[in-house]
Each structure stands twice: as structure tokens, then as C-alpha cells.
Amino acid sequence: MVNLGDVFPNFKAESTIGEIELHSFLGDKWGILFSHPADYTPVCTTELGKVAKLAPEFTKRNFKMLAISCDNVEDHLGWIKDIQAYNCLSGEFPYPIIADEKRELAVKLGMLDPDEKDAAGMPLTARAVFIIGPDKKLKLSILYPATTGRNFDEVLRVIDSLQLTAEKKVATPADWQAGGNCMVLPSIPSAEAKELFPDHKVHEVPSGKQYLRTTPCPK
């Protein structure tokens, strides 16, 4: 299992656009790698279609997208036609799907769901999401069971938070949306906070500790 802050393992794999080496494919961009239990499965078909529709949003955020499923490239190419038909998509599919027939990447990245198995009794790949920074380090991971589809609008919300907090000395509160108020980091002394965030507010709480400080979202 890859831990947050670790350099994400580089690998070579066949995909629907040919052989991919992960780090070279990402270049200096952010990356999202999301896994799927199998081709020609209903929940996965909705998920890949959703991400294809959101491709302009990921591109706007300087992201490259990659899916991975435990079937071969030929199956992936056939499945893409179903994905496009069901989700009313046309044109070139906007991201590659990696083949992982032997589940080598699924094992390496800790993505197997032991409670869900295919017809042959093999464990299915869980619905993992990995966000990889331009420095190739893992910034976020989410792991869903095979039976639960992901909310990719939430993934975009998290990406907005990750990119903001990578540049600014703030954290984002519960249910934060892009442009909303942020929290001043507790590690920032009061004098520095006044300089960095002149419009910030200190919230009084029964403990008397002045750790709850909100500020308009930094530009």
C-alpha cells in the first residue's frame, strides 16, 4: 500500500493508447489514477463515462487521467464503445485505460477487494482513487468497495483543496467549496497571520484557545 507523501511507484503497462510508463506519462502535471473491478460491469461503465464528461474540468486543473481495470486491452477497447453509447459520448475517448489481467498492479498498489470475486473466484479490484502531485508523490487516496460507485464531483472538490493548500498556508473546512472561506493553519503565529490574512477572523470558543481562525479564500 502506498502511503501519503510517498513517491508513487513508477510502472510500465499496456493500455488503450499503447505502453505507458506512469511518471513519463504524467510529466510535470498532476495525475489521477482510478481503478475498476472489471470491464463490462455496470457501475464502472457509469464511472468511466462520468470522468470522460468531466475531462475538461480535470484538464483545466492541469491533470492527466488514467483508469485501470483487470482485463486486457482488447476488452478495454470494446468496452469503451459501450461506455460512450450509454453515457451519450462521441469522439475520441479522453484518457487511457490500463490493462492489469494478472492483477499485478492491483496487488502492488493494495487495490484488491477480498469480499468481491469474479466468476473464477478471483478477487476484484476495489474502486481506488489516487491523486499524484507533479512531484510524483501521493497526495490523496480514497478506497471504495467494488459495490459502491464514486462521486467524481467530490474528487474535483478535493483536488481544488489540494491545489490551493499546496500553495497557500490554509486548510479547508468541512464541506468547503472552491472560493469559500478557509482556515488559517494553527502553526502560523498571530503576527504572521495578520500579515498574510489581514481579513481573517478569530472565533471565540469556551476553551479560550484562539485556534479557530477563518479567512477569505486566498487568491
The number of angstroms, rounded, from the C-alpha of 167 to the middle of its chain's C-alpha atoms is 18
Measured on CA atoms in the order 113, 85, 157, 160, is the torsion positive or negative?
A: positive
44 is catalytic: yes
CA distance from start to end of the chain: 35
C-alpha radius of gyration, the chain, whole number: 20
Look up residue 70 and give its three cell numbers: 483487470
DSSP element (H, E) containing 187: none
Quick one: residue 56, left, alpha or beta (phi over 0 = left, psi -120 to 50 = alpha)? alpha
The residue annotated as part of the active site, out of 44, 70, 88, 217, is: 44
Point out which residues pair with 132 in neighbouring strands.
31, 138
Neighbours of 46 (CB within 10 A): 15
Which residue numbers are catalytic? Answer: 44
